[in-house]
Amino acid sequence: MTAAATLLHFDDETAAAHRLADAAGLRPACIERHRFPDGEVRLRLPPVLAEPVVLLRTLDQPDPKLVELLLAARTARALGAPHLTLVAPYLAYMRQDIAFNPGEAVSQRIVGGFLTSLFDAVITVDPHLHRVATLHEAVPARQALAVSAAPLLADLIAERRPGALLVGPDAESAQWVAQAAARHAFDHAVCTKVRRGDHDVSIELPPVGVARRAVVILDDVASTGHTVAGAARLLLAAGAASVDVAVTHALFAGDALALMKGAGVSHIWSTDCIAHATNAVPVAPLLARALGDLQAGRNT
């Protein structure tokens, strides 16, 4: 990425922004933000933006952040930014890609269209796409790039649990488990999950021997922790020597961490796509390479 490019960020992501700026050769600039008593927000961007602009915003707790993106992107355009790239290490609202009941909002399509109206390019890490094959289908921006942290998690697992068995908690995790397993020739398998509600899931272990083995449950995201906890209990009951967890996105809502620990999980490792105490894998180099790929594509 050209050294002239500006990396806009908010004050709550300053550390992540500086890691990305160092890795990608960008100039970081913090967006000033003031929250009024009535909940509205006032933003102030740097005054000179007649150059490509990258805006970093991970979209956990997304609703207020989406308004901030609207204000920041439109202001950057008004200040002369010729090209806007959103780097959203976690991209929210990707789960619901169809209306399951009459009248439901298809959030993936709506939010994807919203981001496309604001940005020329969107980069994210391990988006939770189910019935959609590519990020561009969900976010039809001029350039849309999804990169995976699964190989980075695999490197960590190889260092801390060499020879581990990788287990995906459900069918949707299969793609990430397969990528991670291929990196270091790990044995791997995927559980079967039946979800009846946000907190009501049942798990069936795959037909693979786990006795006396170190097992790592790997997935793109952990939210309530119920699926991971259910899988961990079954694995330990089947004789696993240990069960650890590696995830790209550490959402960990409510008592998720306590729930997983209570189920017997030893260690929980996550990337820093979402800032959390479990962060063990930095993604700035991965995002910097993605920015370079987009830049090369834009110049060809």
User: Would strands 279-281 and 268-271 be described as parallel, antiparallel, or unpaired?
Assistant: parallel
What is the SS3 string spanning 91-138? Answer: CCCCCCCCCCCCCCCCHHHHHHHHHHHHCCEEEEECCCCCCCCCHHHH
User: Would strands 84-88 and 53-56 be described as parallel, antiparallel, or unpaired?
Assistant: parallel
User: What sections of 102-245 are H helices per DSSP?
Assistant: 107-118, 135-138, 150-160, 174-184, 226-237
Which residues are part of the catalytic machinery? 193
User: Rounded distance, CA 209 to CA 111, Å?
Assistant: 42
CA 11 to chain centre: 20
User: Would strands 32-35 and 41-44 be described as parallel, antiparallel, or unpaired?
Assistant: antiparallel
Q: Are the beta carbons of 148 and 127 closer than 8 angstroms?
A: no
